[in-house]
Amino acid sequence: MRRLLDVSERRVCRALGIPRMTQRYAAKRPDDEERLVGDMWRLAARHPRYGYRRIWALLRREGWSINRKRVYRLWRREGLKVTRRRAPKRSRGSSENSCTVRKAEHPNHVWTWDFIHDRTLGGRPLKLLSLVDEYTRECLALEVSDSITAQDAIAVLHRQFLLRGSPGCIRSDNGPEFIAKAIQGWLTVASVETLYVAPGSPWENGYVEAFHSRLRDEFLNMEAFASLKEARSEGIDTMVDATTFDLGRKAELLSRVSKESGVNIINATGWWLDVPRFLQGVSPNQMAKEFVKDIEEGFRGTDIKAGILKCAADVENVTPPLEVMTRAVGRAHAETGLPIMVHSYPTGQVARQQIKILKEEGVDLTRVKIDHSNDTTDIEYLKWILDQGCYLGLDRYPGRLVSPHMRSVTLKKLIDAGYQDRLCPSHDCICLAVLKENPDGSMPEEHEFARHNQHAYLYIKRQVIPDLKEMGVADATIETLFVDNPRRFFRGS
């Protein structure tokens, strides 16, 4: 207005009826704001299901004397929000025992309970029984064990009845523990009505399902962070997750694990071994387009992008469906320049077929790593792969077919032959896997991978590197193997 009419500030403010001081006020940020925002981001990453009110409460526990409105203003400014899962809309159920029909009207009116299953990083199964008051949404009990029977469930209820009194009714699904005669009889004696939701309708027991969702996000999934945090504290700052779409890749979970642990995780796109029937007959160009989308746009529903390509073949050699995937990976590499990791079967020298296909697709073989190569001690075959220009992934420590020490002996022979600049030793570490039943019908307490590798991500540092040093491998060479070579492989130099 002043510039338009060429008049003084005083005349403009008098005409508009506003104080002159409003034109001179300069906002000042408190000195502690940068540190406060940093703490908010840290807590929001650790508790992705928390809103600004709960973050404010955590900040006060950490010693911040701060107004909730200030936290809200900074929360909005920084774009922080509660991560919500997008789920298809569905009916919440209309059976007479649904949580939307028989609603809780006061505390201790309706309790709900259910089981949630998980596994430790070592593969040991966990079974959790949660008991929730539907009116207050409070978790009354959380029982954890590898096995929970009907009698165990009764013991949980008995303790809570003594502490809080008995509820009017208790809601559950039709699981065998909940419909067991022992539980039904005990609840009848206690004059507690049982509300069984319709079979196959977990949304009718919505309050306990919502609690389980938060429990998994805020607690159970956080277990994956522990071993990576330990690895980060001992010098491991980057890892490649080779889980492709067909193996059940969860990019958003990996992103959270990376932020919480401080370990950089490189995601893979491509395909493993099992090509489903509905993909039979697709062309390499079709699959290449999908892989390029993962690299340039991000995995579907996320902005998380792939940093490496993967193809595979195994004991059956390169089958026609796997040849399509291999050519698709080669074409995606030609378009994006990303490096390729190749799951191979060295006992059958399958890499000879895979390299031939990649050559036909014009792939730069110096951007290719042939993995699982230390499942053999055939030095001449391994030298042939290296002579093609490829990197060698010696990644099956501790492994099964060849002892860990003999794997290191093979590695030492290749170093002595002058190939140390293209060797990438590592381990195929599996966090979670399906337990396999023992011959007597019982279930093992931990997975076989955990039994063979008690060090998880630190096996190389604690076992392999000391073994190499005892063989006379210099520190500079070890730096080349575990730092320089992976960097060159990804950079393409």
**pLDDT of res. 373:** 94
Residues 169 and 282 both lie in one domain:
no
User: Which segments within 318-367 are labelled E, that is strand?
Assistant: 340-343
Q: Are residues 383 and 250 in the same domain?
A: yes
Residue 345 shares a structural domain with residue 300: yes
Looking at the structure, tell me whether residues 50 and 162 fall in a common domain.
no
Determine which of 3-17, 86-100, 290-304, 362-376 has the lowest per-residue pLDDT on average: 86-100
Task: Check pLDDT > 90 for residue 484.
Answer: yes
Name the average pLDDT for the chain: 85
- Note whether residue 70 is domain-resident: yes
8 Å CB contact between 429 and 398:
no
Q: Do 235 and 229 form a contact (C-beta atoms < 8 A)?
A: no
Does 91 reside within a domain?
no
Residues 72, 138: one domain?
Answer: no
Is residue 295, in this structure, part of any structural domain at all? yes
Residue 174 domain-assigned? yes
CB atoms within 10 A of CB 8: 10
Cα dihedral 319, 325, 326, 328 in deg (nearest 10): 150
- 246 and 359 both lie in a single domain: yes
The reply to whether 203 and 236 lie within a common domain is no
Number of H helices, E strands in the chain: 20, 12
The pLDDT, as a whole number, for residue 94 is 62
Residue 180 is part of a domain; what is its CATH number? 3.30.420.10
352, with CB counted inside 10 A (0-12, 13-18, 19+), is: middle
Tell me which of 124 and 473 has the higher pLDDT. Answer: 473
Q: Which of 217, 237, 252 is the last residue of a domain?
A: 217
pLDDT band at residue 270 under the 50/70/90 scheme: very high
In this structure, the answer to whether residues 255 and 305 fall within a common structural domain is: yes
Tens of pLDDT, residue by residue over 184-203, are 899 999 899 988 888 878 88
Number of domains in the chain: 4
Q: Are residues 308 and 246 located together in one domain of the fold?
A: yes
Pick 306 or 125 by higher pLDDT. Answer: 306
Residue 19 CB partners (closer than 8 Å, separation 6+)? 13
pLDDT of residue 206: 84
**Assigned token pair, 310:** 């993967």
Last residue of a domain, one of 186, 217, 248: 217
Decide if 280 is inside a domain: yes
- Grade residue 389 by pLDDT with cuts at 50, 70 and 90: very high
For the record, the structure tokens of 347 come out as: 């006992």
Mean pLDDT value across residues 264-287: 89
Per-residue model confidence (pLDDT) at position 321:
92
Residues 39 and 10 in one domain: no
Q: Is the pLDDT of residue 124 over 60?
A: no
Q: pLDDT tens for residues 203-237?
A: 888 888 888 887 776 666 555 566 777 788 888 88
Residues 6 or more apart from 240 whose CB is under 8 A from it?
A: 265, 266, 268, 307, 308, 341
Total count of residues recorded for the chain: 493
Between residues 219 and 116, which one has the greater pLDDT? 116
Residue 13 has pLDDT above 60, yes or no: yes
pLDDT category of residue 430 using cuts at 50, 70 and 90: low
* Same domain (yes/no): 190, 253: no
* 479 lies in the same domain as 392: yes
In a domain, residue 88? The reply is: no
Residue with tokens 């019982």: 442
CA–CA dist 390, 490 (Å, integer): 13
Q: Residue 342, Cβ neighbours under 10 Å: how many?
A: 27
Strands (E), 120-190: 125-133, 139-145, 169-172
Residue 377's contacts (CB-CB under 8 Å, 6 or more residues apart) are 402, 406, 409, 410
118 has pLDDT over 60: yes
Does this model's pTM top 0.75? no
Find the domain containing 3 and state its range: 1-25
At 385 the pLDDT is 97
93: left (phi over 0), alpha (psi -120 to 50) or beta: left
Is position 96 within any domain? no
Output the pLDDT for position 447. 66
Question: What's the pLDDT tens digit per position in 135-194?
Answer: 998 888 888 776 788 888 888 898 889 888 889 999 888 888 888 888 889 999 989 998
In this predicted structure, what is the pLDDT of residue 342?
Answer: 96
In a domain, 97, yes or no: no
pLDDT of residue 78: 82
Please identify, among 40, 62, 81, the residue that sits at the C-terminal boundary of a domain.
Answer: 81
Tell me the longest C-alpha to C-alpha distance in the chain: 96
Indicate whether 387 pLDDT > 90. yes
